[in-house]
């Protein structure tokens, strides 16, 4: 009955989801506290009280639950534009903002608005695997380009060689899932110079759900670096609202035919069936745009986990942001390594799930005591491989 394409994808099944299922099984046997679940990027932190209070306040307002413009409430979009204007050299208005159903919804809207069948989209490896499905949703072709070995920074020569007349877009994600890397301004400016030379314009789709989770480095503002840029943002991580499904797109006014791109994104929001982003969450996040970020909460977890993982003998770079640690497997087969880790009640995601075999990802957005308690398990796992 179902589509052959979906059937193929189902049979591959996500490695992250597989670990999630294994986690539920182990927790039912050993108890929550005795399983070290680093599989999912699902924040354990509660959303701030301001968000919850704001939702209660707005829920009883007249017209709070009616249809609205497909792009979202104008006053909410004005607030988002003003928020970005504080740090941008470009001047945004509500017309440049489209409220979305999380970053995932925003990515789908942007890709539907831009892609014709056969258009190529550059995806940097390691990558958030759903990018590949999103691109294929619109008959686009993902072109996988490796980042630099070990540092996972932009490899500009690789990107240059991957550009063709069919290249329509490149997806950037900084701070990055799964590596935690932040791309510095210098490399981004060099990329901008490369893209500026192209006969056919290439859009930068900047997926930024982690842009407030930076520890020591600044996250460069891409609106100040690229003209053809769409920023994709969400509050799933910064305000712990992944189930709320709320985010937005910023379409740079300097983008080629920016007004048409915005109109195409509005059309895509409607015809993908989103119709509009959730009304109450739009109101709530508009009230919370200036709340301090929760990065210190995650910094503590990063520091604790990094100390344990490196102390046990695993090799990894220090994450600059997001809440993921990407470490080298002591054996080539990262799926086998994940099974070995599960025997020590450690749940991790093999790098193959991000197009980067030989590595593993740990999501450190859970309970700090659970992270600290994982030390013995990591040391025993490392010992098994002679580290």
Residue 175 interacting with ligand PLP (CB under 6 A): no
Min. distance of Cβ 128 from ligand PLP in angstroms? 4
Residue 72 interacting with ligand PLP (CB under 6 A): no
User: Exactly one of 23, 142, 242, 330 binds ligand PLP (CB under 6 A); which one?
Assistant: 242
- Nearer to ligand PLP among residue 236 and residue 240 (C-beta): 236
Residue 108 interacting with ligand PLP (CB under 6 A): no
Residue 360 interacting with ligand PLP (CB under 6 A): no
Mask: binding to ligand PLP, 199-228, rule CB under 6 A, as x and -? Answer: --------x-x-------------------
Structure tokens at 98: 């489209």
Min. distance of Cβ 62 from ligand PLP in angstroms? 29
Residue 247 interacting with ligand PLP (CB under 6 A): yes
- Residue with the shortest CB distance to ligand PLP: 102
- Nearer to ligand PLP among residue 205 and residue 261 (C-beta): 205
Residue 104 interacting with ligand PLP (CB under 6 A): yes
Residue 320 interacting with ligand PLP (CB under 6 A): no
User: Exactly one of 88, 94, 177, 238 binds ligand PLP (CB under 6 A); which one?
Assistant: 177
- Nearer to ligand PLP among residue 209 and residue 220 (C-beta): 209
Residue 355 interacting with ligand PLP (CB under 6 A): no
SS (H, E, C) the chain: CCCHHHHHHHHHCCHHHHHHHHHHHHHHHHCHHHCEECCCCCCCCCCCHHHHHHHHHHHCCCCCCCCCCCCCCHHHHHHHHHHHHCCCCCCCCHHHEEEECHHHHHHHHHHHHHCCCCCEEEEEECCCCHHHHHHHHCCCEEEEEECCCCCCCCCHHHHHHHCCCCEEEEEECCCCCCCCCCCCHHHHHHHHHHHHCCCCCCEEEEECCCCCCECCCCCCCHHHCCCCEEEEEECCCCCCCHHHCCEEEEECCCCCCHHHHHHHHHHHHHHCCCCCCCHHHHHHHHCCCCCCCCHHHHHHHHHHHHHHHHHHCCCECCCCECCEEEEECCCCCHHHHHHHHHHCCEECEEHHHHCCCCEEEEECCCCHHHHHHCHHHHHHHHHHCCC
Min. distance of Cβ 74 from ligand PLP in angstroms? 22
User: Exactly one of 15, 92, 99, 103 binds ligand PLP (CB under 6 A); which one?
Assistant: 103
Min. distance of Cβ 233 from ligand PLP in angstroms? 8
Contact window for ligand PLP (CB under 6 A) among 100-108, 184-192, 276-284, 370-378? 100-108
| Phi, then psi, of 9 in degrees rounded to 5 | -65, -40
- Nearer to ligand PLP among residue 23 and residue 41 (C-beta): 41
Site of interaction with ligand PLP (CB under 6 A): 41, 102-104, 128, 173, 177, 207, 209, 234, 236, 242, 247
């Amino acid at each position: 009955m179902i589509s052959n394409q979906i059937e193929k994808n189902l049979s591959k099944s996500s490695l992250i989801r597989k670990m999630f299922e294994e986690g539920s099984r182990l927790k039912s046997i050993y108890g929550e506290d005795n399983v070290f679940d680093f599989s999912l990027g699902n924040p354990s932190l509660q959303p701030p009280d301001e968000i919850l209070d704001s939702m209660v306040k707005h829920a009883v307002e007249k017209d709070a639950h009616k249809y609205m413009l497909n792009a979202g409430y104008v006053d909410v979009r004005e607030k988002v534009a003003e928020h970005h204007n504080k740090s941008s050299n470009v001047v945004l208005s509500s017309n440049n903002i489209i409220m979305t159903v999380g970053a995932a919804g925003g990515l789908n809207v942007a890709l539907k608005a831009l892609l014709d069948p056969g258009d190529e989209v550059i995806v940097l490896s390691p990558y958030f695997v759903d990018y590949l499905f999103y691109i294929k949703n619109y008959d686009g072709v993902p072109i996988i380009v490796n980042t630099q070995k070990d540092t996972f920074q932009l490899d500009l020569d690789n990107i240059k060689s991957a550009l063709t007349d069919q290249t329509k877009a490149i997806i950037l994600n900084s701070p990055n899932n799964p590596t935690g890397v932040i791309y510095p301004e210098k490399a981004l400016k060099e990329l901008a110079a490369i893209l500026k030379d192209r006969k056919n314009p290439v859009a930068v789709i900047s997926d930024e759900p982690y842009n407030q989770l930076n520890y020591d480095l600044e996250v460069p503002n891409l609106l100040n670096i690229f003209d053809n840029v769409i920023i994709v943002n969400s509050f799933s991580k910064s305000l712990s609202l992944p189930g709320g499904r709320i985010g937005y797109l910023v379409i740079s006014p300097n983008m080629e035919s920016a007004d048409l791109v915005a109109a195409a994104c509005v059309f895509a929001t409607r015809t993908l069936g989103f119709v509009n982003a959730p009304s109450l969450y739009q109101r709530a996040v508009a009230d919370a745009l200036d709340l301090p970020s929760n990065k210190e909460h995650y910094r503590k977890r990063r520091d604790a986990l990094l100390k344990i993982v490196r102390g046990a003998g695993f090799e990894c770079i220090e994450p600059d942001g997001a809440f993921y640690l990407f470490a080298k497997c002591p054996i080539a087969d990262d799926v086998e390594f994940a099974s070995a880790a599960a025997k020590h009640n450690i749940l991790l995601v093999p790098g193959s799930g991000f197009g980067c075999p030989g590595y593993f990802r740990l999501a450190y957005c859970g309970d700090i005591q659970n992270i600290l308690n994982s030390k013995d398990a990591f040391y025993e796992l490392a010992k098994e491989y002679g580290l």
